């Protein structure tokens, strides 16, 4: 068709969906949260951002506050009052029991809609509302002004702060997407032009403050040893400015796509501190020593939280599939 393929229920699941299926949260809390916008490639929205063949019960909770990509205050628009109980908890529980009795009286109908995971959705929502954990976690105003400043008063920084609050409340996986769609302007990392100003004054300061604050805040609270933080993009940028490596036009102050050599920042969950794994050549054009493929990084992520990367999962046709065809990079761990 010449078009990028949109999301499908047959897709291979997002890593977060695999994790919450194999290691669900231990408390009533949103298992997997994605924010502040969906994954997007050109005009295709949320490809690789769903549970795919695992079923929608394992989709992330999508937190997309209103406002465009340049609205740095959009995280302040989260409405925590939407999570308030409208009726007493006891009354809500009685309604839930009544619903179970009705379902039990109509087994054929209940079975007919079972593929839509409606019961799982309902039970998860009920437990979430009754526990109050999400309501408390989403309230960023409970943090001091100094800490919010430390993370950065921008969308990415406040997403990192909310990620810490969600993890602290029991969420298993949080995926923070860079708030600007890749279209080579403003704080997008798609720096085909304007690299010097955007890196120095927009993208890099936002990343540095948000990521460093997240890691140090988790450490201060004793959560870093049990939490894995991974910061990575889908590829790097060309070592030489002003040349085309992907068919895109690049200014003299721009770099093109470069999937051959790039870096990831990994912290927590037993990862060695102050440690560099691997080495590139002098121009960062290619790996020189200990290269790591993206699927090896994914295997390492699974390994770090106690999931065997060789685990077999079953797709929508009940066909066995390996979780990931790679081995963990155990040299990262102390």
Return the pLDDT at 115. 63
In a domain, 318, yes or no: yes
Return the pLDDT at 310. 96
In a domain, 307, yes or no: yes
Predicted confidence pLDDT, tens digits, the chain (334 residues): 455 788 888 999 999 999 999 999 988 899 999 999 888 877 788 888 999 999 988 999 999 998 888 888 999 888 766 566 677 778 777 887 888 788 788 877 767 766 666 677 677 777 767 767 888 899 999 999 999 999 999 999 999 999 999 999 999 999 999 998 877 678 889 999 999 999 999 999 999 999 999 999 999 999 999 999 999 998 999 999 999 999 889 999 999 999 999 999 999 999 999 999 999 999 999 999 999 999 999 999 999 999 999 999 999 899 999 999 999 999 999 8
Considering only CA atoms, which of 176, 202, 206, 177 is closest in space to residue 191? 202
Return the pLDDT at 60. 94
In a domain, 301, yes or no: yes
Residue-number span of the structural domain to which 41 is assigned: 15-332
Q: How many domains does the chain divide into? A: 1
In a domain, 36, yes or no: yes
In a domain, 279, yes or no: yes
Q: How far apart are the first and last CA of the chain?
A: 49
Torsion angle, alpha carbons of 181, 182, 188, 189, to 10: 140
In a domain, 60, yes or no: yes
Are the beta carbons of 8 and 56 closer than 8 angstroms? no
Distance CA 105, CA 172 (A): 35
Are the beta carbons of 46 and 38 closer than 8 angstroms? yes
In a domain, 94, yes or no: yes
Return the pLDDT at 1. 45
In a domain, 63, yes or no: yes
Considering only CA atoms, which of 128, 125, 205, 210 is closest in space to residue 162? 210
Return the pLDDT at 289. 97
Considering only CA atoms, which of 330, 309, 329 is closest in space to residue 321? 309
User: pLDDT digit string (tens) for 144-188?
Assistant: 999 999 999 999 999 999 999 999 999 999 999 999 887 767 888
């Amino acid at each position: 068709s010449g078009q990028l393929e949109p999301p499908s229920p047959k897709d291979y699941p997002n890593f977060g969906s695999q994790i919450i299926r194999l290691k669900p949260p231990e408390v009533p809390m949103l298992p997997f949260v994605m924010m502040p916008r969906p994954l997007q490639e050109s005009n295709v929205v949320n490809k690789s951002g769903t549970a795919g063949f695992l079923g929608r019960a394992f989709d992330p909770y999508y937190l997309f506050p209103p406002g465009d990509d340049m609205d740095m205050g959009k995280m302040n628009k989260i409405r925590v009052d939407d999570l308030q109980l409208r009726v007493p908890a006891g009354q809500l529980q009685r309604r839930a029991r009544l619903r179970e009795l009705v379902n039990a009286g109509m087994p054929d109908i209940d079975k007919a809609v079972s593929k839509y995971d409606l019961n799982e959705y309902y039970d998860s929502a009920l437990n979430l509302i009754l526990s109050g954990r999400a309501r408390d976690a989403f309230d960023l105003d409970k943090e001091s002004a100094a800490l919010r400043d430390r993370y950065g008063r921008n969308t990415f920084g406040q997403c990192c702060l909310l990620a810490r609050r969600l993890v602290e409340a029991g969420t298993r996986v949080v995926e923070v997407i860079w708030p600007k769609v890749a279209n080579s302007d403003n704080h997008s990392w798609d720096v085909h032009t304007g690299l010097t100003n955007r890196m120095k004054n927009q993208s890099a300061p936002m990343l540095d403050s948000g990521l460093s604050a997240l890691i140090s805040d988790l450490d201060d609270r004793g959560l870093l040893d049990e939490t894995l933080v991974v910061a990575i993009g889908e590829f790097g940028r060309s070592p030489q400015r002003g040349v085309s490596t992907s068919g895109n036009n690049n200014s003299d102050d721009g770099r093109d796509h470069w999937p051959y050599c790039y870096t990831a920042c990994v912290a927590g969950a037993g990862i060695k501190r102050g440690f560099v794994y691997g080495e590139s050549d002098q121009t960062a054009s290619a790996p020189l020593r200990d290269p790591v493929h993206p699927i090896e990084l994914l295997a390492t992520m699974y390994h770090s939280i106690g999931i065997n990367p060789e685990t077999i999962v079953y797709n929508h046709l009940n066909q066995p599939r390996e979780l990931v065809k790679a081995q963990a990079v155990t040299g990262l761990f102390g």
